[in-house]
Amino acid sequence: MKNIISFIFAAAKATVIFVVAAVVLVAMVLNAGCSQGKTNIEAEQESNMSPEERLCKVRTELWKLCVERKQLQRRMILRAETQLSIEDPGAYLRWKNENRNKDLTASCATEKHNANLVCDALKCPLCDAASEGNTAEMKRLLDGGANPNQAEKNGKTALMRAALFGHVEIAKMLLDGGANPNQAEKNGWPALMTAAYWGHAEVVKVLLDGGANPNQANKDGKTALMWATFKKHAEVVRILRAAGAK
């Protein structure tokens, strides 16, 4: 009976290995085909990824693969034990008590930890607080030593988020906390340009008072004044011109 149990367990493991290998092979073939059809945008996004972002992506994929493998393994072993329970209920109970958890107790905790270790460093709690206009959380983070210039993977900082959503008090707190008003995201947009584009006149004032360059241009050569003029934000245009924007 022990030989039968061992055979069933070994067969289940062999089946899992075969299926996983087949899935990986199919994925490689599909990936090879799909890679030929990548758009320019996708290629540009990948080329703009930092080493940390690439490592985060790879480790996250390894974690997901581990989870999928464990789920497949669980399904296969459950099928084997179901068949055993039908053929020999007594043997099934002995196998359940002695062997069932041998391979299932191994989780993907290591892979998850490795992914979180890298990916968590890319997160920006200040950016979340700025987007929400959460002054209490912003104060807590800044008082706790958070870097006011930390950026998300797209280059946006908390100050840029405050400018985007028009959160005046958040912008003041960040500038008082040492945020750089002229720091730009990957496409060259500083916080002032974002605030001007969306017509947040009060934020524009705060940024200018905090040292923002009224003539800073993005990668396309456009300035905050150009965008404010294009969007017909008369008050923002007036404020920028009074600050020396050309």
Provide DSSP, 93-160: HHHHHHTTTTTTS--SHHHHHHHHHHHGGG--HHHHHHHHT-HHHHHHHHHTT--TT-B-TTS-BHHH
Which domains occur in the chain, in start order?
Answer: 2-30+51-120 (no CATH), 123-242 (1.25.40.20)
Residues of the chain with pLDDT under 70: 1-53, 56, 73-78, 80-82, 84-85, 88, 90-107, 115-122
- Rounded to whole angstroms, the Cα distance separating 185 from 164 reads 13
**Which residues have CB under 8 Å from 189's CB, separation 6+?**
160, 218
pLDDT, residue 128, reads: 87
Q: C-alpha angle 38/42/45, rounded to 5°?
A: 150
pLDDT, residue 33, reads: 47
Tokens representing 102? 């041998």
pLDDT, residue 37, reads: 44
- Rounded to whole angstroms, the Cα distance separating 195 from 202 reads 9
pLDDT, residue 222, reads: 95
Q: How many CB atoms lie within 10 A of CB 120?
A: 9
